[in-house]
A and B are shown apart, each in its own frame.
Chain A
């Protein structure tokens, strides 16, 4: 308020009027720039949505159309029933959901558990353990993929979904976030109080610490879920069975150079179906997620 009134008072002098005009111009340019970038971010998804509403015939004709048509449900229906391609929506959704849910739940619980173990107790290897986890955080996942793939083949573990789920128990980055959260928000007196009140150590973790860590768990759950949901590299190596493929593998298989023979409406719908769960989650939790991005970045 104070700023504004000052602004009006000083409008009289030509100098400040100049400054004001300059500010307005700059502001307008900024908004134009922002709107342009927003357009860029959304335009392709908008096109995707439009194309899911158009029939194969309309799509095969080509051309840029910006108005939705009426074949959305037809495409959806066709995708689930008659679409003969690499994309099996029911199986893909199911497998993706199993892997993403399973691995993000394990990541959250065990990262919190490990972080709590290092934070709450004093033991000889405490510091060494933390430094080790920090160090392995930077190792690219590809380094293990060759050996992992080989072992999976050797022991007949290909096409087992649990093989994608179990390793997420050891998630260094999530661990790091959790231990920072513990350090900044939970008081050790709380743990001691719980001990005095009669809990054993696991009870203290499950009943006192986990509920307090809910915000951190939620953020990490979302990131881990999205990461797993979108992951192509490891699943594509391990899952070759038709009934075990996840959505990204199916999407990868869809890509082709000749589209003429395919039901394009269904393919657009398949893409739409793969991204829509995450978009819906994002619409509801965006504020939360963006906070998580910043919090996760304040490393070191």
Chain B
């Protein structure tokens, strides 16, 4: 009892241990494995994304334009400062400022697709989640509405192009009904072409938006609605006083991410209207694509950088709405 409570086994053993102790001690550490496991991602990102990104930005300050004042060969572009950016905001031979035109087109087509899409998706999300209506078959409808989102956009557009062409069935139907004038071309007419692009985007994305909004509604505590109802709020009041305000962050999130996606609109207008050379549906990415095909990397780079800046600003909004959501 008087000695220590810990039984140390006797000394011969201890001397042996001491010898081992003199050797340099290594530590057991898994740190290196973390680096090993994430290495592939970062190496590939560096080579295939980061380097090209930096090259794009670098390019945007060099003149590749064979018709520009400072004429250079393709192999030796010259530093030109912000010339590429300035040129983008100048009128071209047709008297059009291409960057404004394409961004304008993109935004117009996005808005006429996204606004109805948001409204309808909201209505759908509300009636799907309504405990009053208790609709049957919501699973089927959700599945049906989401399907167009997975369809190849270029194929969907090609289909539209054919259905609305001069010999397509929809064209024939419209003509027979007398809704359109003789020799009307859907993809050449500015308004109809824009409407078609917007409509296609609408069809492809409203199901997706519905599902996102439903998740948003379901994440709201059910008891909030119940207590509002017990407090005497009508269905309409619950909708406008509770559901919509609580849903606002998600709606903003969905809208902005949709806008970021919308800015990158390419497949649909490309397939649908590129052959028709419709200037009313030319998007910013189509412009970029054209410059790339001309090997004018400077101008293409400048467009990419502008697009990146717009996206970055919008993304900050997204993160802010997300953070607000967390505060709630």
Contacts and interface: CB of A to CB of B under 8 A. Distances in A.
Q: Does A pair with B?
A: yes
- Most central of A48, A63, A140 by chain B CB within 10 Å: A140
The 5 closest A-B pairs by CB, nearest first: A117-B37, A147-B55, A121-B34, A147-B52, A300-B322
Interface of A: 23, 26-27, 30-31, 33-34, 37-38, 40-42, 44-45, 47-48, 51, 59-65, 110-111, 113-114, 116-118, 120-126, 129, 133, 136, 138-151, 166-167, 169-170, 175, 201, 205, 226, 229-230, 232-233, 236-237, 247-248, 251-252, 254-257, 259-260, 264, 267-268, 271, 274-275, 278-279, 282, 286-287, 289-290, 293-294, 297-300
A300 B326 CA distance: 8
26 contacts: A30-B127, A34-B127, A42-B144, A44-B156, A44-B159, A48-B159, A64-B170, A64-B173, A123-B32, A124-B31, A129-B42, A144-B48, A147-B51, A148-B49, A167-B49, A170-B42, A237-B292, A274-B155, A275-B152, A275-B156, A286-B143, A286-B146, A287-B143, A293-B211, A294-B211, A299-B322
A143 B307 contact: yes
B312 to A, nearest CB: 7
A232 B266 contact: yes
Interface of B is mostly: helix
A33 B56 CA distance: 47
B55 A268 contact: no
Contacts of A23: 132-133
B251 interface: no
A151 B49 CA distance: 11
B169 A63 contact: yes
Contacts of A236: 289
Given A26-B133, A274-B152, A139 B56 contact: no
A116 B30 CA distance: 13
Contact of B34 (A41, A122, A169, A278): A122
B304 A146 contact: yes
Contacts of B57: 143
B166 interface: yes
Contacts of B276: 257
Contact of B270 (A48, A123, A140, A232): A232
Given A34-B141, A47-B169, A122-B34, A139 B147 contact: no
Contact of A293 (B146, B168, B267): B146
Contact of B41 (A170, A260, A274): A170
A233 B285 contact: yes
Contact of A123 (B35, B139, B297): B35
B45 interface: yes
